Amino acid sequence: MCFFVAGLNIDVAARAGQQFPLTKFVPWAAYEQLLDGRRLLLEQAELFGTLTSMPSDNPDRMSFDTAVAAMAAAEEVELPLEWRVSDRLDRTGRIGDVGHKYMRHLRRVGA
């Protein structure tokens, strides 16, 4: 069985004493493929009901720390971009005219 959840990540500004902003995830929709081959799309209300009805104990759960360590140890994947946005920032750290042209280029080519 496969279950993929799409959602919205909301960054909440860090409060005094916090180093990083908080990120809250709002489930929006899901795709589920069952073992018998059926495929389901779940909209937000149905997805929320499905998630809240699941038991809290999950024998297949992953360790967050182990997953992050594996990502950190993985070989870097280079994106074959002709040039990068970071190369096109002006001296103030803002995207200048060249950066905006690059962003329009990315939208045109569907990147």
pTM, rounded to two decimals: 0.48
CA atoms of 39 and 103, how far apart (whole Å):
36
Contact (CB, 8 A) for 30 and 41: yes
Which pLDDT does position 70 carry in this prediction? 92
pLDDT grade for 91, boundaries at 50, 70 and 90: low
Q: Of the candidates 39, 47, 52, which has an alpha carbon nearest to the alpha carbon of residue 7?
A: 47
Q: What is the mean pLDDT of residues 8-21?
A: 89
> What's the DSSP call for residue 19?
S
